[in-house]
Chain A
Amino acid sequence: MSIFVSAVGFGVASGAVIALASLGFTLQFGLTNTLNIAYGSFITLAAFVGYGFVQFGLSPWTTMAIVAAIMGVLSVAYYGGFIRSLIRRSIGFGPLAIATAAALIFIEYTIVLVAGTTTRSYGLTSGTTYHLWDFVWTSTQVAIIVLAAALVTMFQLGLRTTRLGRALRATAANRTLARACGIRVERVSVGAWMISGLLCGVAGVALAMTTQAFTYNLGLTFLIVIIAAAVVGGIGEPLGAVTGGLIIGLVTQVSAAYFNPAYSDVAAFVLLIAALLLRPTGLFGGQARRSNVATA
């Protein structure tokens, strides 16, 4: 089996986690025009809360479900108690992003205060190995790929078929017009932050499960990858975030296979810069441009 095929296999597994995280990130951006830098620290928090449950003896999958619920609640609390009040004060896009960066530092150092700087690991064994065509995946990787595919499919279906989904689309496309249609956009925003928190929880635990070891800065490093995925796909576009996540996953893993793996995130940076230079609106940015989501 070639190195390339093997890297592609890892890239899909890695891309599945990035896609979930990026979907949550882009949802916050699309609905409330917030570049939430603190999203990275929420990923870390999810990994650490999950670590606690795993240490307590719960299975990683049960842990993931519990952590997702916890992160959903925390995400809504963070939005309602912090972000919304800043938006109401009309502080502007840039200062809001800086405020979220401050929140990231606060959350990360709170984690350090509680859990220290020691490297942690869920300590999962690789378990059964599956051979699919020329790809080789561990049972954990397969489960995460299937879970990510299911969640993304559910999300996309929900956007089109449920009342909340329709309200999300309308609010992201044109907030004032959505209000003029009787859509209670503030409730919709809360719903969006809840969903993004759930996705963040799943992604955080999945990342910890597939990482050999992690520390308090897990999310900060991962944030760059998440932002790169969102930008490559078209920030504010759910399908773009998923596609961007898969692309970034593939590119970072393939580059890691041929160059020094320590520099794999550089590939994400290169893609991010290339996307900004060549297609600033991203792969799915046409829709974003039409709906003013990305430029609002």
Chain B
Amino acid sequence: MSWAEGQPLARNLRCEDVVAGYGDVPILKGITVTAHAGRVLAVVGPNGAGKSTLLRALLGLLQVRHGRIFLGERDITNEPLEELSRAGVGYVPQIDDVFDSLRVSENLSMGGFVLSRAKQQERLAVVLDVFPALSKLIRRYAGSLSGGERKMVAIARVLMPDPDVLLLDEPTAGLSVELTQMVLETQVRLLATFGKAVLLVEQKAEAALKVADDAAVLVDGQVVLTGSGPEILKNRHVAEIFLGSNIGMNR
């Protein structure tokens, strides 16, 4: 039996009419999206569309001025990042996604910081079962790993406390085409298979839309289109208008 079988579905992450920005300027102008349990929601859009700002608002790193964010039924609007983590929101940053100066084993241990020692050992066994390749890297310093290995450690770390929702900030940034495909199709899809609600912010739109169950296209701080990933991918008109030639180039 796989680890995912028998697991209850996690909670959704719902973002309702969120307005946020820097200074007096709103960058997000009423964003409404939902990351459903067991599904991958890809948030794509051109540079400056507000993807990273949305993530910062969701993570409590940027003040939400209007609108609400819910984890299941719990209102988590403007809660600090550490409390979101304790509530069941996992976050993998784009850069600095691992503790470089710590060993892989310590990275995983930090991921399970809120757990008791016994529970931590239990979760470590589960995570190593999911990512068996990590067993060989366990004594290595995270800072010495390759891009793909780092990302695997980052995702394994975030799985340690068994969160309901995973927020991934451009997990393929800096990775080759082959590694991008591997990370998205294997690791990111795997998270949804485990019943997690996955919100994937990605600059490589085409690659992200291929693996996404749901997608939202952001332009100028607003959601201009929603649908399934493959639907949006096939819409050449949409691709030309909102993503331009980047959709092919950023694969």
Which residues of A pack against B, CB within 8 Å? 166-167, 169-170, 173-174, 176-185, 287-288, 290-293
Contacts and interface: CB of A to CB of B under 8 A. Distances in A.
A176 B166 CA distance: 16
B80 A179 contact: yes
A180 B93 contact: yes
A184 B82 contact: yes
B250 to A, nearest CB: 25
Which residue among B82, B97, B98 has the maximum number of chain A CB atoms within 10 Å of its CB?
B82
Interface string B95-128: 0111111100010011101100000000000000
A216 to B, nearest CB: 39
B99 A291 contact: yes
5 contacts: A167-B113, A170-B99, A177-B97, A177-B110, A181-B85
B189 to A, nearest CB: 22
Q: Which 3 interchain pairs have the tightest Cβ spacing?
A: A291-B101, A182-B85, A290-B143
A185 B99 CA distance: 15
Given A166-B109, A176-B93, A290-B101, 14 more contacts: A170-B99, A173-B102, A174-B99, A176-B96, A177-B93, A177-B96, A177-B97, A179-B81, A179-B82, A180-B90, A182-B85, A182-B86, A290-B100, A293-B101
A166 B115 CA distance: 13
A169 B100 CA distance: 11
| Chain A interface main SS type | helix
Nearest to A183: B113
Nearest to A167: B113
Contacts of A288: 101
B100 A181 contact: no
B93 A170 contact: no
Contacts of B93: 176-177, 180
Nearest to A292: B96
A182 B161 CA distance: 10
A173 B91 CA distance: 17
Contacts of B110: 166, 170, 177-178, 181, 183
A174 B96 contact: yes
Interface string B43-81: 000000000000000000000000000000000000011
Contacts of A170: 99, 102, 110, 113
Contacts of A173: 99-102
Contacts of B91: 180
Nearest to B96: A174
Interface string B31-45: 000000000000000
Nearest to A237: B101
B113 A182 contact: yes
A178 B100 CA distance: 12
Contact of A176 (B81, B111, B143): B81
B104 to A, nearest CB: 14
Contacts of B81: 176, 179-180
A185 B157 CA distance: 18
Contacts of A185: 82
A62 B161 CA distance: 45
A221 to B, nearest CB: 33
A169 B114 contact: no
A293 B99 CA distance: 11
B113 A180 contact: no
A27 to B, nearest CB: 15
Contacts of B109: 166
A288 B143 CA distance: 11
